[in-house]
Amino acid sequence: MDIALFSSMVLFAFVMAGTPGPNNMLLTFSGANFGYKRSVPQMAGIPTGIATMILLMGLGLSWVFQQYPSLQWTLKILGSAYLLYLALRILRQSQLAKQQMAKPLSFFESLGFQYLNPKAWMMTSSVVASFALPGEAYWESIWALVLTFFLVNPVTGSIWVSFGKFIARWLSAPIARQRFNITMSFLTAGCVVLLWV
């Protein structure tokens, strides 16, 4: 694979994985409320989901989305419902005492969210369309994409979890933590709009 193409791919992965969005808001929330170590399973679910989605797109799943556009609507509805569920879960945390706090998202909850996120499907589809090479180099380029996103996502995820952990320093007062969680709940719910734009 050409070094210029590979560099573009890595840069694209950092931009896609590192910019604010539902995954990174949830990671920030988790870092602030549960710390780095307890957020690792959630962080691991994201690159696993994205990498397997790229592989599925490489196998031709994008054709299914082109043939059945109603699948996009179904994903938008399911993704919106799941985001609202997560926002409600965060909001409930703001009402719990610290010792009663629920767990962070599990590996499988985080992985599952990737599959319900229509933006993730569009991103993985465009990644394959933009960076997959034709002919004999096709599978080499698909595996390069899978590996790139699998390695970049934990780096950017670590930054967002660490940011949440940094914010936690100012959340020692219960009212401050409650306000933070309410804000994160509304921001997560607001991400539903992004699914429909």
Query: Which residue type is seen at 88?
Result: L
Task: Give the pLDDT score at 99.
Answer: 45
Q: What amino acid is encoded at 49 in this protein?
A: G
| 18 within 8 A of 156, measured Cβ to Cβ | yes
User: For 126-137, how does the pLDDT look when each residue is reduced to its tens digit (9 = 90+)?
Assistant: 899 889 888 999
- Per-chain mean pLDDT for the chain: 89
Q: What is the pLDDT of residues 35-54, one digit of tens each?
A: 999 999 999 999 999 999 99
Between CA 182 and CA 28 the distance in angstroms is 13
Look up the pTM and report it: 0.84
Yes or no: say if 171 and 36 are a contact pair by the CB < 8 Å rule: no
The span from the CA of 167 to the CA of 34, in Å, is 12
